[in-house]
Amino acid sequence: MDRLTAASVLLETVARGSISAAAAHLDMSRAMATRYIGVMEEWAGARLLHRTTRRLSLTAAGEEILPVCRQMLALAGDVGALGQADSTPRGLLRVAASSIFAEYCLTDALTAFLQLHPAVSLDLQIVDRTSNLAEDGIDLAIRVTKELEPGVIARKLGEVGSVICASPGYLRAHGSPAHVRDLCAHNCLTYAHYGRSIWHFKAQGEHLAVPVAGNFSTNEAAIVVRAALNGTGIALLPRFAAAQAIADGRLLALLPEFEVESLGAFAVYLSRERMPSALRVLIDFLVQHLGALGTRA
C-alpha cells in the first residue's frame, strides 16, 4: 500500500483525534484508513497509537515517526511540483471486472483508451467476485450491481439495462409467457449476483416481484448466456450480452411491455486523495464510453 497515503492518514488521525474523522476528511472508508495505520505500524515496527473507547494518543514510537511523516509529504509535494510540467497520464493500472462485462463492454473501451494514452499500461484482472482493492492490489474495480455496499468510494459509469429472453427451441417446446407471472411455470436460468430467486419488473407504474426457479444456476452471467442459447430455459440477461444473439435470431426477447429493473455500473477505487492522473483520466473516459449501456439493444 502507498506509504505516502499511510503517512497522510496518520497525520490526519492525530490532528483530528480519531481514525473515523481522518477517513471522512480524506474521503475513504474507516476500514481503509485503519489498514493504512497498520501499514505505518508495520513499517515502523512498533505500535504508533494508543486506542481506547474515549481517546486516541501517540505512543513513544508514534511521537518519533510523526515528524518523519511530515517530511515525507513535504518532499513528495516538492517532487510533484517539479513534475507538473509533464501532466501526461502514465504508469500501470490494475483493473478488475467480471468476465461478462470485460468481454462485452470493457475490453473495447480499455483498448480505445490505450490508443489515446500510450504511456499508460493496463492489467485487466477477471474476477467474478467482489474484490478487496487494497488486499488484491487493484486500482479500479468495475462493479455491476443494484446497490453498492456502504462506505465504498465510487463513480457511476452508467445504467445497465436487462432483457428477458429465450431460444426459439425452448419456446417451441414450452411456449411463450404472456405475463411475467407466467415465468413461475418456466425453467428460469439464474446467477448468483442478481435475481437468483426473484426477478423485479415495472409495468404501468406498478412494481412486480416475480419468484422464479429452474434446474440451472451459476455464479457467472456469461454461463447463463450459453445455457440460454442451448435452449435450457428463460434467462434475464444484460442487454449488452444478449444484443447480438437477439439480432441474429438465436435468442428472442420476451415480454417487452414489462420493464426489467436496471443495474448500475460503477467504478470503485480506494481514495480520491492524490489519485494518479492515469486513474482519473481512465474513469472520465469510461463515464463517456459506457454511459449508454442502458440503451444498448
pLDDT for residue 176: 96
pLDDT for residue 79: 54
- Are 264 and 144 in contact by the 8 Å Cβ rule? The answer is yes
DSSP state of 205: T
pLDDT for residue 295: 44
Domains of the chain: 3-83 (1.10.10.10), 91-160+264-295 (3.40.190.10), 162-261 (3.40.190.290)
Please report, as a single letter, which amino acid is at residue 57: S
pLDDT along the chain (297 residues), means of 10: 80 85 83 88 87 78 88 70 61 91 92 94 85 80 85 88 95 96 95 77 88 90 93 94 94 94 88 81 92 54
pLDDT for residue 197: 84
pLDDT for residue 4: 81
Q: What's the Cα-to-Cα distance from 193 to each of 98, 237, 243, 246, rounded to whole Å?
A: 11, 12, 21, 23
pLDDT for residue 82: 44
Q: In sequence order, which ranges of 54-208 are alpha helices (DSSP H)?
A: 60-83, 99-101, 107-116, 133-136, 168-174
- Are 19 and 34 in contact by the 8 Å Cβ rule? The answer is yes
pLDDT for residue 23: 86
